[in-house]
Amino acid sequence: MNDKIANKSIRVHVDTLEHLMTMVSELVLTRNQLLEIVRRHEDSEFKAPLQRLSSVTAELQEGVMKTRMQQIGVAWQKLPRLLRDLSAELAKPIEFEMRGAETELDRQVLELIRDPLTHMVRNSADHGLEMPAVRRACGKPEKGTIGLSARHEGGHIVIEVSDDGAGLSTERIKATAIARGLATEAQIEKMSEAQIQRFIFAPGFSTAQKVTNVSGRGVGMDVVRSNIDEIGGTVDVKSVSGKGTTFIIKIPLTLAIVSALIVEAAGDRFAIPQLAVVELVRVRNNSEHKIERIKDAAVLRLRNKLLPLVHLKVLLKIDGGADCQAENGFIVVTQVGSQTFGIVVDAVFHTEEIVVKPMSSKLRHIPLFAGNTILGDGSVIMIIEPNGIAHSIGNVVIERDATAAGQEADRTDDRSGIESMLVFRAGSPQPRAVLLSLVTRLEEIDVRKIESSNGRSLVQYRGQLMPLIPVNDDVRLKSTGKQPLLVFSDEGRSMALVVDEIVDIVEQKLDIELLSEQPGVLGSALIRGQATEVIDVGHFLPLAFDDWHDWRERRVAAGRHRVLLVDDSQFFRDMLAPLLNAAGFSVICAASAEEALAVLRDGKRIEIVITDIEMPGMDGFELTSAVRRDPRTAAMPIIGLSSLLSAEAVERGRRVGLHDYVAKFDRQGLIAALKEQTADMIRAA
Amino acid sequence: MSTLETMTDYVTATVGGQLFGLPIGRVQDVFVLDRLTRVPLATPEIAGVLNLRGRIVTAIDLRRRFGLPPDEVRKRMAIGIEHRGESYGLLIDTIGEVLNLPSSSREGNPVNLEPLFARMSAGVHRLEDRLMVVLDVDRVLDVGQHAEAA
């Protein structure tokens, strides 16, 4: 058996793979160019074959990427030995636990992460764990535990280095931060514990040996951070005093191809890596989202926080870097580590998969660029390095963070239930709204790019054909200029709602006042004193894709009666939670079966569980069995949600103890099932 | 002509009226500049980057490099060269013919040559009607690294 497996693999020189990768990158570029050309020609006969080429290229790209993948365990090989030696040297018994060594990532990334990881594990042993005598005194086992784990999450790999030591000393970090002039006492007073702990990553925090000894931890963490920054990753720390410290590293699976947002500043286009982009805000002088100034510093009020702004044009000193009054642009809200800031740009185009090409050695010294790339139309553009931008406005941001944290603390109490709503007009002057968290992106697309097929409108979007659905019968596609669209994406698929005008983003408590009978409308709510129709995105998804229900296994995801909603898709959680709220239930969400069990075990008063059936890992059936097994929750009503309503599935559901089984898009059905279960409860009581 | 005489082929070009020559072995191709993307924060000598058959080429403005005033030539030509595995384009005013020149007509730099110029010149060829400066490509490309960082 083993012989057979051995015969199925061959050794290939890394150079061969690298070359293959380069060629595939070129192919991706050429494909993008072709797509761009076809986009300009209506009804081109190349469309269909190109679509095919496009998908083959995507598969090829994925295949070649796989060949470059290596198990992260390769980078861990030397760690057990290192720890054994350290254990002897430091006279600390250490238990080393590795999990997820088989998690794969690009070999190039692997090479770059090896040293920082080694450093961090060493740190945990050296500074994280206490001496055995101290541990015994604290009632902990003498043997300290260091954990190293890796797992995939989205297009990223998450690596955690943890120890069960004493945790970071916030007091000492405070003192050091003040001593090193990283923050003033007043600023620190307003910071949360997590913010203070993050100082260990601040440049210059631990350069001096003396400080290192005092801080007891954080040796070279700024170096680790800059290493991880370099590969487009992030690092964070969670520490509980007396319990231990966990470092969380998130890095992209590969460096060669990234998804980036294409923006324009001063007539030039730039790419901003999507990883760093949190959201887009459109600035209008007359709206709530206007830019305000504190002396020369521009800021934006965003959800009760002040967001420091920097204009890309000013940052890059284009046209002499004169500050422009272009207060009608877009703000790309960007997050780097714990820093959030807004990059002001003149225009936002689309998102594109770009092949990162290294900068010429003559340009590599510019910290604001991560590389350059060739776009579909053949032009070369610069890729913005978010870390570089964070550094260049760093000091300002840290100060703002402190103030913002203070404000946040004041307001957290009354913020529950506040939702951000995107207000738009479509077909009539009456305002309509949708939950902002559901909207993936706001787009304005040249109407000439809109194609028509079988009576449906489509547009090329991120290499796929994206269906355009009018919000209601009264809205018409514009005939010239730009068509505003609300793009919704879930699991790689996108659809867009056609609207007339995007009006504003409003933050308020969402009380949907009456449930509407009209399809596609959740109900109406008072937004800024005006009756506003809140649309139901869930209604439109099946309209966009006939096969939305059964497309792939819908790996998916709510009072006064407390409902636990379990669904792995953020999208569905966001969609169902407001609906259930509107129907009179109080909703708690869980993103996985494991999380749901934890919520139930916590003894939170949950009356009904709604669970998605198709989930990665533990699925809805297994969750139901687990809930039934626990005597405390054995009688819990559970409703299953699924896009697969086969007789067999329903039967299996009954066997494991589901009370009801509802189709995923059947809102009325779900509400009815909930009402029935709660009515039973009242009768029982 | 003596048999010891070595002949060298030069690709010639003019920048600001001055004739230059590059050893033909260093020249990859000559192309018309199509779309140039400027690079913010780069040294002024770097005119920008462009896409040449799928490769990203860094364009060096020789006028700037030689400290000459900018010129409003629309259709700029460029000489493509490779240097340490990277592609560069040297922006010129006009491209000339390829000259086959004997080493005997080549002299060192005149001592009164402007230092900026002298650094990039590997000597001068006396042609019948004019002088041709031989470009030291490596020196010409010695730009950028010491630029002011943002």
**Which amino acid appears at position A371 of this protein?**
G
Q: How would you list the strands of the sheet with A514-515, edge to edge?
A: A501-509, A418-425, A431-435, A530-535, A521-527, A514-515
Question: Which range is least confidently modeled, A8-17, A317-326, A356-365, B79-88?
Answer: A317-326
Phi, psi of A309 (to 5 degrees): -115, 145
* E strands in A312-357: 330-336, 339-345, 347-355
Structure tokens at A218: 């954080």
Test B40 with A382 for CB contact under 8 angstroms. yes
- The string of pLDDT tens digits covering residues A58-78 is 788 878 877 878 888 988 988
- The string of pLDDT tens digits covering residues A110-168 is 888 888 888 888 888 888 888 899 999 988 999 999 999 998 775 678 899 999 988 88
Could you tell me which chain A residue has the CA closest to the CA of B82?
Answer: A360
How close does chain B come to A363, measured CA to CA in Å? 6
Residue A399 pLDDT:
39
Q: Is the pLDDT of residue A487 over 50?
A: yes
Higher pLDDT, A373 or A283: A373
Higher pLDDT, A403 or A473: A473
List residues in chain A touching B: CB distance below 8 A.
26, 29-30, 268, 315-318, 357, 360-363, 365-369, 372, 374, 378-382, 388, 392
Residue A321 pLDDT:
52
Q: Is the pLDDT of residue A209 over 50?
A: no
Q: Is the pLDDT of residue A305 over 80?
A: no
Cα(A104)–Cα(A92) distance, integer angstroms? 32
Is B85 part of the contact surface with chain A (CB cutoff 8 Å)?
A: no
Residue B147 pLDDT:
39
Mean pLDDT of chain A: 78
Q: Is the pLDDT of residue A653 over 50?
A: yes
Q: Is the pLDDT of residue A307 over 90?
A: no
From A29, A317, A379, residue closest to B54, measured CB to CB? A29
Q: Is the pLDDT of residue B118 over 80?
A: yes
Residue A420 pLDDT:
73
Cα(B13)–Cα(B134) distance, integer angstroms? 11
Split at pLDDT 50, 70, 90, the class of B68 is confident
Residue of A239, A166, A165 whose CA lies nearest to A201: A239
Residue A474: CB atoms within 10 A of its CB come to 10
Higher pLDDT, A66 or A334: A334
How close does chain B come to A355, measured CA to CA in Å? 11
Mean pLDDT, range A214-225, rounded to an integer: 59
Residues in chain A: 685
Number of residue pairs across A and B with CB atoms under 8 Å?
Answer: 79
Q: Please identify which residue in the block is written with the tokens 């490309």.
A: B141
3-state secondary structure of B65: helix
Test A361 with B84 for CB contact under 8 angstroms. yes
Structure tokens at A299: 């800021």
Structure tokens at A168: 């970071």
Phi, psi of A573 (to 5 degrees): -60, -45
**Helix %, strand %, coil % for chain B, to 5?**
15, 50, 40
Higher pLDDT, A554 or A294: A294
Query: Which are the contacts of B30, defined by CB distance < 8 A and separation ≥ 6?
Result: B11, B77, B78, B79, B80, B95
Structure tokens at A58: 């995507």
Mean pLDDT, range A525-538, rounded to an integer: 78
Q: How much of chain A, in percent, has pLDDT values that exceed 70?
A: 82
Cα(A451)–Cα(A46) distance, integer angstroms? 14
Residues of A with CB below 8 A from B86's CB?
360-361
- What pTM did the predictor assign? 0.47
Higher pLDDT, B149 or A173: A173
Higher pLDDT, A217 or A40: A40
Is B32 part of the contact surface with chain A (CB cutoff 8 Å)?
A: no
Give the up-direction half-sphere exposure of residue A549: CA atoms within 13 A in the CB hemisphere. Answer: 15
Residue B75 pLDDT:
67
Could you tell me which chain B residue has the CA closest to the CA of A362?
Answer: B144
Query: Which are the contacts of A621, defined by CB distance < 8 A and separation ≥ 6?
Result: A613, A640, A652, A653, A656, A658
Residues of A with CB below 8 A from B145's CB?
361-362, 365
* E strands in B26-120: 27-32, 46-52, 55-61, 77-83, 86-92, 94-102, 106-107
Contact of B93 with B71, CB cutoff 8 Å: yes
Could you tell me which chain B residue has the CA closest to the CA of A313?
Answer: B40
Is B110 part of the contact surface with chain A (CB cutoff 8 Å)?
A: no
Residue A406 pLDDT:
40
Residues of B with CB below 8 A from A365's CB?
144-145, 147, 149
Residues of A with CB below 8 A from B56's CB?
357, 360, 372, 374, 380
* Cα-based angle A168, A172, A177 (whole degrees, multiple of 5): 110
Q: Please identify which residue in the block is written with the tokens 């307001």.
A: A411
Cα(A236)–Cα(A231) distance, integer angstroms? 15
Contact of B22 with B10, CB cutoff 8 Å: yes
Contact of A373 with A354, CB cutoff 8 Å: yes
Q: Is the pLDDT of residue A685 over 50?
A: no
Q: Is the pLDDT of residue B63 over 60?
A: yes
Phi, psi of A418 (to 5 degrees): -80, 130
Question: Which range is least confidently modeled, A80-89, A518-527, A650-659?
Answer: A518-527
Split at pLDDT 50, 70, 90, the class of A408 is very low
Contact of A235 with A223, CB cutoff 8 Å: no
Contact of A190 with A405, CB cutoff 8 Å: yes
Compute, in degrees rounded to 10, the torsion defined by CA atoms A322, A324, A330, A333. Answer: 50
Q: How much of chain A, in percent, has pLDDT values that exceed 90?
A: 8
Contact of A351 with A382, CB cutoff 8 Å: no
Burial class (CB in 10 A: 0-12, 13-18, 19+), B74: exposed
Q: Is the pLDDT of residue A212 over 90?
A: no
Alpha helices in A68-169 (DSSP H): 73-76, 79-90, 107-123, 132-137
Residue A632 pLDDT:
81
Mean pLDDT, range B111-140, rounded to an integer: 89
Contact of A282 with A442, CB cutoff 8 Å: yes
Q: How much of chain B, in percent, has pLDDT values that exceed 70?
A: 90
Test A360 with B58 for CB contact under 8 angstroms. yes
Test B37 with A362 for CB contact under 8 angstroms. no
Mean pLDDT, range A625-645, rounded to an integer: 83
How close does chain A come to B99, measured CA to CA in Å? 30
Split at pLDDT 50, 70, 90, the class of A214 is very low
Residue B19 pLDDT:
93
Split at pLDDT 50, 70, 90, the class of A409 is very low
Contact of B39 with B49, CB cutoff 8 Å: yes
Test A315 with B56 for CB contact under 8 angstroms. no
Question: Which range is least confidently modeled, A54-63, A322-331, A423-432, A503-512?
Answer: A322-331
Could you tell me which chain B residue has the CA closest to the CA of A30?
Answer: B54
Distances, alpha carbon A63 to alpha carbons A17, A28, A67, A598, in Å: 11, 13, 7, 37
3-state secondary structure of A627: helix
Split at pLDDT 50, 70, 90, the class of A247 is very high
Residue of A158, A157, A80 whose CA lies nearest to A122: A80
How close does chain B come to A203, measured CA to CA in Å? 17
Test B147 with A365 for CB contact under 8 angstroms. yes
How close does chain A come to B4, measured CA to CA in Å? 40
Q: Is the pLDDT of residue A179 over 70?
A: yes
Contact of A414 with A449, CB cutoff 8 Å: no
Split at pLDDT 50, 70, 90, the class of A512 is low
Mean pLDDT, range A450-470, rounded to an integer: 80
Q: Is the pLDDT of residue A650 over 60?
A: yes
Q: Is the pLDDT of residue A311 over 50?
A: yes
Residue A409: CB atoms within 10 A of its CB come to 12
Residue A516 pLDDT:
60
Q: Is the pLDDT of residue A397 over 50?
A: no
Residue A210 pLDDT:
37
